[in-house]
Amino acid sequence: MPTRGIYGGILILIAAWAASNAVGALPAEDAVIAVAERLEQGQWKSGPNQGLWPGDYMSTGPATAGMICAYEWMGDPAYRQSAEFGGRYILSVSVPIGQLFADEVYAFVRLSQTSDDPNNNKWRTALVSFFKGNREQGETTAGYLRFFEKMDSSSSTFYIAHHAIGAYYVDDLDKETWREALIRTLARVDDKSAFPVMALGVATWALATTGPLDDTPVKSYGEAACWKGVLLSDLPGLLLSHQVPEGEVFAGSFYWRFDHTGGSLGGVASGYMEDAVYGALGLTAAAALETDAPDEDMKQAIRAAYPALLDGIDADGRVYEHLARAGGCYPAFAGEMLQGLWGIAHYLGSQEDEGAETAVNP
């Protein structure tokens, strides 16, 4: 759910946070429980809107995926039930019209992965039908993808990335078409786009999830000359170069622009929650591809992203647009936060070393 706003007073709030940083972050498990409990309790549990988070139907996909992550982490069956409710709402509203939002596709991937039989369940069946739908109606996946060409390039990168993960999960006939479209769309992203670094992060995550980061070029289209000569194998290094270094405000998060400025409007240069979540997911997915010893710089960057994300959660489990706990506050943000934290903890825990233990249990 990519979004970015300039709010009255946000710079003052961020300056105050940076000056004192007195609130402190909740311990990881306490933070996850606070976020998940707030989502679980705020969801409609009955009636025609069962599974919806009130006032924000666009949050259903990311919140559902986030609750699956919370369930995998904490094992609380209430979190699993909440995710099931979210999935059923999507089944009742989006599936009958043959459409799924990108993060609804990913929610179904996560629900299917954690089903009793990941190879045979209603979530997987719905995904298979969705990706086959255009072909059955005499259209093509390439034709469907033209819809995204009308969007801001970074937003379309976000949506196509989630769809690509879904297409590969169900081994759709056109899965490579989705991956190629993702590379092609990423190549249109530059600092004129709405969310350039977030687009790099989400694309790296999806590309590393669906195939190798090899010597395939990210060809430059239009005015996005920044991609000239860049290969898929270069994406993790590029992402690392946009992480806020130790000693700076919002260290461990990510700059939102490639030039590390706040943009022409003088906005905030770093610390946006979605940039940090998808930047971290991109790094974890790329690191997981390493067959030899993981790159130490990559591991340190992933560890640094963990407390940065935790800083963005307040004691009541609210998650905001910015890690200074400022800006918009939506269930979608909470779901994305849970996805990011679980991605980091799961990766670092799999490393089984002293650094991983420290990072997972700060």
- Helices within the chain (DSSP H only): 10-20, 28-42, 60-74, 77-93, 102-113, 122-136, 141-145, 153-169, 175-186, 196-210, 235-241, 273-288, 296-310, 331-351, 354-360
Q: Are 295 and 310 in contact (CB under 8 A)?
A: no
Q: What pLDDT, in 10s, does the model give residues 168-198? A: 999 999 999 999 999 999 999 999 999 999 9
Q: Is 75 left (phi over 0), alpha (psi -120 to 50) or beta?
A: left
- Helices within 75-101 (DSSP H only): 77-93
pLDDT band, residue 265 (cuts 50/70/90) = low
Does residue 77 form part of some domain? yes
pLDDT of residue 15: 54
**Confidence check: pLDDT of 361 > 90:** no
Q: Closest by alpha carbon to 258, among 319, 324, 195, 209? A: 195
Cα–Cα distance between 126 and 105 in angstroms, integer? 9
pLDDT band, residue 206 (cuts 50/70/90) = very high
| Tokens matching residue 62 | 């990311």
pLDDT of residue 8: 39
Q: Are 125 and 166 in contact (CB under 8 A)?
A: no
327: part of which helix (H) or strand (E)? strand 326-329
pLDDT of residue 159: 97
Does residue 306 form part of some domain? no
Domain that holds residue 66: 31-139
Does residue 151 form part of some domain? no
What b/e sequence results for 217-252 when a residue is b if at least 16 CB atoms lie within 10 Å of its CB, and e otherwise? Answer: ebebeeebebbeebebeebbebbbebbbeeeebbbb
DSSP sequence for 5-54: ---TTHHHHHHHHHHH--S-PPPHHHHHHHHHHHHHHHS--SSTTTTPPT
| CA 274 to the chain's CA centroid | 7
Q: Are 306 and 28 in contact (CB under 8 A)?
A: yes
Q: What pLDDT, in 10s, does the model give residues 216-238? A: 999 866 667 899 999 999 999 99
pLDDT of residue 7: 41
Average pLDDT over residues 148-175: 96
pLDDT of residue 225: 82
Does residue 42 form part of some domain? yes
Q: What pLDDT, in 10s, does the model give residues 10-45? A: 555 555 555 445 446 778 999 999 999 999 999 999
pLDDT, the chain, mean: 89
Place of tokens 């939002």: 101
pLDDT of residue 3: 61
Cα–Cα distance between 343 and 276 in angstroms, integer? 12
**Confidence check: pLDDT of 279 > 80:** yes
Does residue 311 form part of some domain? no
Does residue 346 form part of some domain? no
Q: Closest by alpha carbon to 77, among 87, 67, 66? A: 67
pLDDT of residue 223: 61
Does residue 188 form part of some domain? no
- The SS3 assignment for 265 reads coil
Q: Are 316 and 38 in contact (CB under 8 A)?
A: yes
Q: What pLDDT, in 10s, does the model give residues 339-357? A: 999 999 999 987 754 443 4
Q: What pLDDT, in 10s, does the model give residues 102-149? A: 999 999 999 999 999 999 999 999 999 999 987 877 688 999 999 998
Domain tally for the chain? Answer: 1
Q: What pLDDT, in 10s, does the model give residues 41-55? A: 999 999 989 999 986
Cα–Cα distance between 66 and 343 in angstroms, integer? 11
What residue type is 163 in one-letter code? Answer: H
Q: What pLDDT, in 10s, does the model give residues 66-84? A: 999 999 999 999 999 999 9
**Confidence check: pLDDT of 262 > 50:** yes
Does residue 163 form part of some domain? no
Gyration radius from the chain CA atoms: 19
